[in-house]
Structure 1
Amino acid sequence: MPAETSSRKTLRVAVLADSDTRWKWGALTARRIAGDISGADAAITGFLLRGRATPTARQLGEVGAGLPAPREVTGTEFLGLVRGGPYDVIVLALVGGSVQALLHGLARLWPQPARRPVLVTGYVGVVYEKLADGLLLRHGADLVLANSPYDEERFRAVYEGVGADASCVTRAALPFLGGTPYGGVADTVVFAAQPSVPERRADRTYLLRRLVGHARLHPDREVVLKLRSKPGEHTTHIEELPYQRLVRDLAPPPNFRLAYGHMGDVLDRTGLLVTVSSTAALESLHRGIPTAVLTDLGVREPLGNHHFLGSGCLTSWDRLDAGHRPEADEQWLVRHGVRTPGDPYDAVRAKLAALLAQPRLAPPAPYYTAGTATGYLPGILARHRLDEAPPERGSGVRQAVRHAVREAARGAYRHGVQRVAPVIRRMGEL
């Protein structure tokens, strides 16, 4: 049940994520929005929604969330855990379909106005594709966070365009923007790789050849390939052609190296950040680091670099090799949430405090229902096994056996998806 806000009490927050990057967003968002809510302390508990992108312990350790490792659960298990009302706030840091399924599951727990948790969701980074689809799948949460004034306008327009309530849209910012401002002394060039952009082997090989070529052209600089995951690990997107495997054939020079770990630690030593469209560009721009968004493969929606139109950051490897350092447009930075006057979470905390103070909240009311999305919603719920009401807890040996069988099946499925399937696909390309 929500905590009383008249005196100092512990605000209990649950974060449910489905990948390492969404765990980072969800955990850091929870810390930002739960801070100083009418004098309440915060206790944040993490959960991972079991699936093909479930991160490893190494990935979770490099996120930098500063919280204990989250517990792995299914959607129905999570609903069972929150059924008794131990949480005041639930942050759904999930892909859109999972958010929608959980919202319907939570609506079944509280079908009438009740003292229920406040439901919060949003996006882990740049929203450059599936805007309407992703937003409507998130509708039904009490707060849908927008990372910038630009996103806030777009989010409201989508909801209002279908006649849905847009009052849930609340401006915030990416919670991991921060770090030491750039001092203009570092000369390290960092390429921030992305798991799925670009997808084609030829395009990824091209980017690596140019990065290695830049290292050879400038032997006095350290050139770093910043990677999100190691082979066999998965993040928000499945990576079929890992860069660290492709680079082996290019014989990089001694001043070239690979890097993993927390992006903030890498940016501490970066003098130029290069990417196609990674959210790391926003982290870099926030610090004032020269940031290059490549046009070599075109400025195209599937690449996501069209998001940076007007930023002053679009450039090419030819120009970078010749010494060009992009200068970002200040108005673009403000409009896209990179420069945020004041605390960008003030409005979120104000809305959250007002919701927590209400004696009862209406049931979650997603835009998609059996009436508005008859051919779409049932499939989403079925994929998450939430097409029926969460079953009551079983008892004794039967429950233990069923749990063990499910765990074994899930382990085999994950091994097939994460290990065997990529190998088969690569063999098919030979």
Structure 2
Amino acid sequence: MGSAVPRAVVLADSDSRWKWAALVARQLAPKHALDARFLAGPTTPTERQVDEAGVVPDTSRVVTYGELLDDPAVAEADLLVLGTIGGTTLALIHSLGMAWDGASRRPVVVSGYVGVVYENLVDGLLLRVGSDLVLANSPHDAKLFREVYRGVGADPYTVVEAGLPFLGGSRYDPSAVGRGERRFTVCFAVQPTVPAGRAARAGLLDKLKRHARRHPDRDVLLKPRTREGETSGRLERFPYRALFDELADPPPNLSVVDGAMSDVLDRTDLLVTVSSTAAMEAIHRGIPTAILTDYGIREAHGNHFFAASGALASWAQLDEGLVPRASQAWATAHGLGRRDAFTAARAQFAQLRSRGTLPRMRPYYTPTNASDYLEALLSRHGLGLSGRPLPSASPASPTAMRKLIQRGAGGLYRVGRKRVAPVIRRLAQADSSGPG
């Protein structure tokens, strides 16, 4: 009788982290069956968002923390990829480490970063200590990560240089427009929170309109992160799609486009964004890319990450015909343009798996060195220091409730835009046309 099919488990708490974790699992264990587990919460991805990653799991379940801790498929897997934010990653390393303590076998646990690392470097890295592998997306990141781990006494050899797993696609062909295969296409890649305010977002759409009118020979695309009713890892208070619907007289060469970012990049000649990870995909493929400076080069926006890239530009410069290209040296240092990024990570995964028995996962924060911080973080996830769900824990934690309220606010905005605002406008028009 043949042996059981080896399995990998991917745990994700949002659409972007599902995409990252699922593709990491495929890179590290391409022949393994794939079990998807999605944490129940306000950012749990929809079926469409799961499908858009291009990875079809063999099994799929939405789970609570308690269900995950007791799931035999997780404990018996070869590989567990944590597609979760830092605090959740620490909570899982702590709790799963206790649940699996003394077991003869456990999965190799992998964590990392969904996109560029531009803020909270030390904080995020310490929350991932205890993973068997912490993936760094570039030589630049790997060097920084190991320096931090050495400084705090964590194992620097758990840091493995890899790359963003969704980087791929064909190299950009600048001659396609000249051959008449398509019109020159400009794509603006949306971020959920940058810029954040309604006025700034409406102003950005005005800049898209202006660019489309000044360049009638170009197609100008607006690429949202989500569709209506969906969420991403960060709340989008004023969705561009809704604001686009309010535009007066949009030019015919300006449109909204859906689908996988990789598919949109296949037809893109200039990718424009504030600091979306889509910029990394575009630069990797050699597509001209503009990192907008209109809102400043700021750590809060994340576009400071691209300061030395050679891709900074304003809409005014793009209107005048600028088509920026990123520096090849900068791209190489940040892991772009490579085709073998996961070779070392695959080798280290195989080496760890060959050991059979792995040591207990030990996070950096423990009841000894950070009892208050650890207990507070675990409680926000409905877990106790014991590694088990708190007796009073419910699926709707205070954090989840705050997010649900925020999502409700976004829903109220959409209702107001579609139903209330038209009524108010009609009443105002009727009032202004009546007796004076």
Q: TM-score, normalised on structure 1?
A: 0.88
Match of 1:129 among 108, 119, 122: 119
**Alignment partner, residue 158 of structure 1:** 148
Gaps of 5+ in 2: 178-183, 422-436
Describe the SS at the equivalent of 1:303: coil
Cα distance, 1:326–1:84 mapped onto 2, change above 3 Å = closer
Partner of 1:387: 384
The residue number in structure 2 matching 1:422 is 410
1:214 counterpart letter in structure 2: H
1:362-405 deviations in whole A, cap 9, x for unaligned? Answer: 1001101112222211111112222154669xxxxxxxxx9xx9
* Greater Cα offset, 182-191 or 242-251: 242-251
Correspondence for 2:428: none
Of 318, 321, 339, 1:320 maps to 318
Aligned to 1:106, the other structure's residue is in SS state: helix
Q: Specify which of 206, 210, 215 is matched with residue 209 of structure 1.
A: 206
Aligned match of 2:304: 306
* Alpha-carbon separation, structure 1, partners of 2:231 and 2:406: 7
Note closer, same or farther for the CA distance 1:385–1:18 as it changes in structure 2 (3 Å cut): same
Paired AA for residue 110 in structure 2: V
Report percent identity of matched pairs.
50
Residue 171 of structure 2 aligns with an amino acid whose one-letter code is P
Q: Is the 8 A contact 2:33 2:58 kept in 1?
A: no
CA RMSD of aligned residues (A): 2.7
> Which residue of 329, 332, 339 maps to 2:330?
332
- 2:282 and 2:39 mapped to 1: Cα distance? 30
Tell me if structure 2 keeps the 8 A contact 1:76–1:390.
no
Task: Please name the residue that 1:276 is paired with.
Answer: 274
How far off is 1:319 after superposition? 1.1
Task: Tell me what 2:260 maps to.
Answer: 262
Give the whole-Å Cα distance in 1 for the aligned partners of 2:25 and 2:171: 24
Bigger mean CA deviation after superposition, 294-303 or 180-189: 180-189
Shift of 1:65: 2.3
Q: Name the residue aligned to 2:190.
A: 193
The answer to whether the aligner puts 1:141 opposite 2:140 as a matched pair is no
- Indicate the SS of the match to 2:255: strand
Between the aligned partners of 2:59 and 2:396, the Cα distance in structure 1 is: 22
Q: How many residues align?
A: 404
141-150 vs 113-122, which moves further = 113-122
SS at match of 2:202: helix
Question: Which AA in structure 2 matches 1:75?
Answer: Y
What is the letter of the counterpart of residue 282 of structure 1?
M
CA contact (8 A) 2:76 2:106 kept: no
Partner of 2:431: none
What is the 5 A alignment of 1:393-404? none
Q: CA deviation at 1:182?
A: 1.0
Q: 1:113 to 1:177 in 2, by over 3 A?
A: same
Q: Find the partner of 1:27 among 22, 31, 40.
A: 22
Equivalent residue, structure 2, for 1:397: none
Q: Which residue of 1 aligns with 2:350?
A: 353
Partner of 1:178: 168
Task: Note if contact 1:20-1:55 (Cα within 8 Å) is conserved in structure 2.
Answer: yes
Q: Is the CA contact 2:97–2:361 (under 8 Å) kept in the aligned structure 1?
A: yes
* Pair member with larger Rg: 2
Q: Which residue among 220, 223, 227 is the counterpart of 1:230?
A: 227
The alpha carbon displacement at 1:408 in A equals 10
The one-letter code sitting in structure 2 at the alignment partner of 1:106 is L
Instruction: Could you tell me which runs of 5 or more consecutive residues in structure 1 were left unpaired when the two chains were aligned.
Output: 1-6, 36-40, 393-401
Distance 2:22 2:169 in 1: 17
One-letter code aligned to 1:19: S
Question: What is the alpha-carbon distance in structure 2 between the residues aligned to residue 22 and residue 345 of structure 1?
Answer: 18
The question of whether the paired residues in 2 share the 8 Å contact of 1:111 and 1:363 is answered with yes
Q: Residue deviations 1:230-266, cap 9 Å, x none?
A: 2332101011111112223332211111112110110
Q: Aligned letter for 1:240?
A: R
Q: Take 1:129 and 1:369, find their aligned partners in 2: how far apart are those partners?
A: 24
| In structure 2, C-alpha distance between the alignment counterparts of 1:421 and 1:181, rounded to whole Å | 42
**Could you tell me whether the CA contact under 8 Å between 2:28 and 2:345 is conserved in 1?**
yes
The range that moved more, 182-191 or 266-275, is 182-191
Scaled by the length of structure 2, what TM-score is found?
0.86
CA contact (8 A) 1:52 1:418 kept: no
Given the alignment, which residue of 279, 291, 294 partners 1:293? Answer: 291
Q: 1:51 is matched by which residue type in structure 2?
A: G
Deviation at 1:203, TM superposition (A): 2.3
- For 1:409 and 1:305, locate their aligned partners in 2 and report how far apart those are by CA, in whole Å: 33
Aligned residue identity for 1:422: G
- The equivalent position to 2:80 in structure 1, one of 90, 104, 108, is 90
Residue 146 of structure 1, CA deviation = 0.3
How far, CA to CA, are the matches of 1:292 and 1:195 in structure 2?
A: 18
Indicate the residue corresponding to 1:4 in structure 2.
Answer: none
Instruction: After superposition, give the CA deviation of every residue in 1:85-137 in whole Å (9 maximum; x if it has no partner).
Output: 32111000100111000101111122247321110011111111111111111
Amino acid at match of 2:205: L
- 1:17 aligned to 2:37? no
Aligned equivalents of 1:418, 1:69: Cα separation in 2: 31
| Matched residue type, 1:96 | G
Q: Could you tell me how far 1:178 is from its partner in structure 2? A: 0.7
SS in 2 for 1:92: strand
The alpha-carbon deviation at position 407 of structure 1 amounts to: 7.6
Give the Cα–Cα distance (whole angstroms) in 2 for the partners of residues 69 and 305 of structure 1.
Answer: 38
Query: Mean Cα displacement is larger for which, 155-164 or 298-307?
Result: 155-164
Aligned to 2:432: none
Answer whether contact 1:193 1:225 (CA < 8 A) is retained. Answer: yes
C-alpha separation between the residues in 2 aligned to 1:47 and 1:103? 16
CA distance, structure 1, for counterparts of residue 201 and residue 171 of structure 2: 31
